[in-house]
Amino acid sequence: MSVNLLSLEEGIKAVKLARKAIEVFLKDGITINDQYGGKFAEKRGVFTTLNKNHMLRGCIGLPYPVKRLDEAIVDSAISAAVRDPRFPPVVLKEMDEIVVEVTILTPPEKIEVKPLERHKFVKVGRDGLIVKSGYYSGLLLPQVAVEHGFDAEEFLSQTCLKAGLMPDCWLDEETEVFTFQGQIFEEVEPRGEIVEKDIGSCER
């Protein structure tokens, strides 16, 4: 995990920013331009996850640190609400039932070992995964492995499937595998208290 972690206060600010970005966009069609100092001015990867009645309602993010954190939160939050191709766009009244979760990412690091050894360098409950092969790429957040009870090998296989590849593609030399970590902040209930989530105790 990156040493430059967010405090709980900063995490609360991140989740509130995500919710505000979604609700303003759904109400007025405007992308807010709220900017903060400190860690929010750093380029960071981020994902916003929306859950409704304990079911996924949208999840999109920027895996690489290409934007300021505050801008990346706004971008990912709006995208999770209206651009996730797996779901119809969220409508404003749904936000009363949606729990907002923001995952702040560390920069991805390539696993530089022989393919057969890769699973030994993936720690479930800590690492998220990115798999790349040619034009194909897939990402799963750290909490996904815990929520679904995956071991390291199954987590690698599921990330390959997410990329549209065969589940054993992580064993191929031409496939690249990256790990990253995530710091998660979420609402306990819609518009409720915001806490930092312990990945090791994730349940869905």
DSSP string, 172-201: STT-EEEEEEEEEEEESSTT--EEEE-GGG
Show the domain range for 37: 8-106+182-201
Q: Do the beta carbons of residue 50 and residue 98 sit within 8 Å? A: yes
pLDDT of residue 141: 92
- Is 49 within 8 Å of 109 (Cβ atoms)? no
**Is 3 contained in some domain?**
no
Is residue 45 located within the same domain as residue 82?
A: yes
pLDDT digits (tens, 9 = 90+) for 175-201: 999 999 999 999 999 999 999 988 754
Kindly state whether residues 117 and 189 are assigned to the same domain: no
pLDDT one-digit tens code per residue, 113-134: 999 999 999 999 999 999 999 9
Give the sign of the dihedral formed by CA 135, CA 156, CA 68, CA 185.
Answer: positive
Which CATH number covers residue 22?
3.30.700.20
More confident residue, 88 or 147: 88
pLDDT value at residue 199: 73
pLDDT at residue 201, rounded to an integer: 46
Q: What is the CATH number of the domain that holds 125?
A: 3.30.1490.150
Mean pLDDT of the chain: 94
For residue 1, being part of any structural domain is answered with no
| Residue 59: pLDDT over 50 | yes
